[in-house]
Amino acid sequence: MTIPAVLFGILISTLYGAAFHLWRGGNLSKLSLYIIASWIGFWVGHGMGGWMGVSFLDLGPLHLGTATMGSLLFIWMASLLEQRRDDE
C-alpha cells in the first residue's frame, strides 16, 4: 500500500462521511461520528476485499468497490445507533 493510496482512501472516506452528514444533518458530534465510522468501514472493506480476492472497482492497490460498501455500511450502522441513542 503506497502513501498516496492511503491518503486517497482517507480523502474518499472523509467525503463519504461528510456527504452523509450533509444529507442527514446534525451537529458537529454527528459529523465526527459519521467520518470516523466511514474511515473504519472503508479500511475494513478494503481489507475484506483483499482477503477475499474481490476485484470490484479496484484503483491501483485500493479495493475501492468493497471499501465503499464497507464505508457506507458502517455509516448506516452508526446512524442507526445514533438514532436509538437519541430516542432514549
Mean pLDDT (the chain) is 93
DSSP output for 12-55: HHHHHHHHHHHHH---HHHHHHHHHHHHHHHHHHHHHHHHHT--
Q: What is the pLDDT of residues 51-84, one digit of tens each?
A: 998 888 999 899 999 999 999 999 999 999 988 8
**Per-domain boundaries in the chain:** 9-83
Q: Which of 76, 19, 7, 82 has its CA nearest to residue 43? A: 7
The CB-side HSE value for 14 (13 A sphere, CA atoms) comes to: 6
Predicted structure pTM score = 0.90
User: By the 8 A CB rule, do 62 and 10 touch?
Assistant: no
